[in-house]
């Protein structure tokens, strides 16, 4: 039993519709073709469909379109009329030249802080004291210092930016997966979870906080990577108390995007007023995350931020 497909079997492409240009600038088309397929022996219409292109196969000349349906009807005992419909790949209008979809979520989240960035009355994140000659000057940049000498702090909004990158690989192309196989690909994802990368987004640090890997009904392997994004680096001038001079001095502190910074307060005696005041004793920066230089290669990401 056999069904014969060859170039002479194509009767016509009676429907070609331009439906737009994708993110990479490529024009996309919906194509409908009609074929006359010859049968031999006891072949059936099903044999004709099985011998032809499979769902998800790319069109022979318009590679941005793939087969989404094929139907067959008998024209005679030895011939079947087959109609093939091709459409752009899923989300193809959103994909870049490397088949990736980059989606940004530019949001905020509440964060509890105990200090502002600088003391004084000018510029952002400052602190003012009334009367101006009061002991409040010796609070440093602490927020909400009460009579019981605790630093209450306050809740503020900080940027909470996430980046989601989606990419697919077709069945049969496992060798093109990162690492060359599914198991190696999964291991590469696991190795990059919760690591800092400075190359994915220029001027920012990213952390891979999650990934979803699955098979789709379109005969593909689909990966969805989720990153948290922070600006990097930051340089701050923090006013700390110098025990030697018994005055506040500015200490330059370098804080990368995902470093953890904390300030320690202490009680000191103001030599001018002989009063006990609260000051910033010292500043600390911790780097709790490992870094990676191979994130894009490991995850198969080839594009860049919009």
What's the CATH code of the domain at 9?
A: 3.30.200
Looking at 54, 73, 89, the residue that finishes a domain is: 89
Instruction: Mean pLDDT check: name the lowest of 41-50, 118-127, 200-209.
Output: 118-127
Tens digit of pLDDT for each residue in 196-255? 998 899 888 999 999 999 988 667 889 999 999 998 666 777 777 777 777 777 778 888
- 58 and 108: one domain? no
Confidence of residue 104 (pLDDT cuts 50, 70, 90): very high
- 265 and 145: one domain? yes
- 43 and 111: one domain? no
Looking at 38, 61, 89, the residue that finishes a domain is: 89
Question: Pairing relation of β-strands 260-269 and 154-170?
Answer: unpaired
As a whole number of angstroms, the distance between CA 182 and CA 67 comes to 25
Structural domain containing residue 43: 2-89
As a whole number of angstroms, the distance between CA 291 and CA 125 comes to 30
Average pLDDT over residues 46-66: 84
The pLDDT score that the predictor gives to residue 119 is 55
Which pTM value belongs to this model?
0.71
- 56 and 157: one domain? no
- 184 and 291: one domain? yes
- 154 and 52: one domain? no
- 101 and 163: one domain? yes
Question: Pairing relation of β-strands 195-197 and 290-291?
Answer: parallel
Average pLDDT over residues 34-43: 86
Looking at 43, 60, 89, the residue that finishes a domain is: 89
């Amino acid at each position: 039993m056999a069904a014969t497909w060859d170039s002479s079997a194509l009767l016509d492409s009676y429907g070609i519709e331009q439906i737009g240009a994708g993110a990479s600038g490529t024009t996309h088309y919906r194509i409908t073709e009609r074929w006359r397929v010859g049968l031999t022996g006891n072949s059936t219409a099903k044999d004709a469909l099985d011998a032809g292109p499979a769902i998800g196969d790319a069109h022979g000349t318009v590679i941005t379109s793939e087969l989404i349906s094929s139907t067959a009807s008998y024209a005679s005992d030895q011939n079947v009329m087959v109609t093939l419909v091709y459409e752009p790949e899923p989300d193809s209008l959103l994909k870049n030249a490397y088949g990736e979809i980059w989606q940004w979520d530019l949001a905020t989240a509440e964060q509890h802080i105990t200090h502002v960035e600088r003391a004084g009355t000018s510029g952002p994140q400052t602190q003012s004291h009334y009367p101006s000659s009061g002991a409040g000057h010796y609070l440093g940049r602490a927020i909400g210092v009460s009579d019981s000498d605790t630093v209450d702090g306050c809740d503020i909004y900080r940027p909470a930016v996430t980046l989601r990158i989606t990419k697919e690989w077709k069945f049969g192309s496992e060798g093109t997966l990162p690492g060359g196989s599914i198991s190696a690909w999964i291991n590469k994802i696991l190795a990059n979870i919760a690591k800092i990368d400075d190359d994915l987004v220029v001027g920012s640090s990213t952390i891979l906080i999650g990934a979803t890997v699955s098979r789709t009904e379109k005969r593909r392997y689909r990966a969805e990577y989720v990153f948290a994004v922070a600006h990097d680096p930051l340089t701050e001038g923090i006013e700390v108390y110098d025990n030697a001079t018994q005055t506040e001095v500015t200490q330059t502190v370098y804080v990368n995007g995902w470093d953890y910074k904390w300030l320690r307060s202490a009680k000191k005696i103001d030599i001018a007023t002989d009063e006990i005041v609260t000051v910033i004793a010292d500043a600390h920066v911790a780097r709790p995350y490992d870094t990676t230089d191979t994130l894009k290669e490991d995850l198969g990401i080839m594009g860049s931020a919009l």
